[in-house]
Structure 1
Amino acid sequence: MNRDSYQDMLAEVRAFHEKHRFHETGGEELTYRVALMAEELGEISSCVTKGKSKQALAEEVADLLILVMGTAIAEDFDLNQAFWDKMEKLSIRESRMINGRIRVSEFRDVD
């Protein structure tokens, strides 16, 4: 196993889904997965606002990554390709300072 390989990470998440029979037991239902991702974002926010350790933050971010990868498995899309497609789009976007922070987006000026 190559711990730096996306494919190996994906295989681990897929094995976790199979071990717990997520497909048969509702663990791959999209609305449920979105709720779990929102819960993880709350835990990430708590790490930041409560000044928890980087290790605690890393663990919560890893939880979110596992959920995102599992959603790609559940919904049968190529997250690796989606990542590269999105990075290509982001690379040509402009950035702006908004309220003192940088923002990269598809800015639409409203008349």
Structure 2
Amino acid sequence: MSSPNKDSYETMLAVVQAFHDKHDFKNTGGEEMTYRIALMAEELGEISECVTKGKPVAELAEEVADLMILLMGTAIAQDFDLKQAFWDKMEKLQARESRMIDGRIRVSEFRNS
């Protein structure tokens, strides 16, 4: 019998689900959305600090991983398929045009106003 691919999305999601179960997030406020948004904002602040203060890439990677875990946990808490949402969004993004705005590339739904 082959071992599961530890890098597969399904395996990673199962590990995050086990973490939620271990700490009973569902019944102890860990899956409440206002709280989760605050945690995500905190992680974005830590990511920003890594970039603006020139911290080592290993520290940046750890903070980005924290955000990824929170995102996956949000999919668990709100019972949606993040992998499918990713592919649906990428399909939309691939169809969009890009523009240079203030010297940086931007891919968005540009509206003529």
State the TM-score, normalizing by the size of structure 2: 0.96
> Counterparts of 1:1-111 in structure 2 under 5 Å?
1-110=4-113
Separation in 2, partners of 1:20, 1:104: 39
Task: Give the unaligned 5+ runs of structure 1.
Answer: none
Could you tell me the percent identity over the aligned residues?
A: 76
Separation in 1, partners of 2:27, 2:60: 31
State the TM-score, normalizing by the size of structure 1: 0.98
1:109 Cα offset (Å)? 1.4
Separation in 1, partners of 2:102, 2:74: 33
Separation in 1, partners of 2:42, 2:110: 29
Separation in 2, partners of 1:16, 1:4: 17
Root mean square deviation, CA, Å = 0.5
1:83 Cα offset (Å)? 0.2
CA displacement, residues 51-91 of structure 1 (integer Å, 9 cap, x when unaligned): 00000000000000000000000000000000000000000
Q: Report SS of the residue matched to 1:97.
A: strand
Partner amino acid, structure 2, of 1:108: R
Task: Give the unaligned 5+ runs of structure 2.
Answer: none
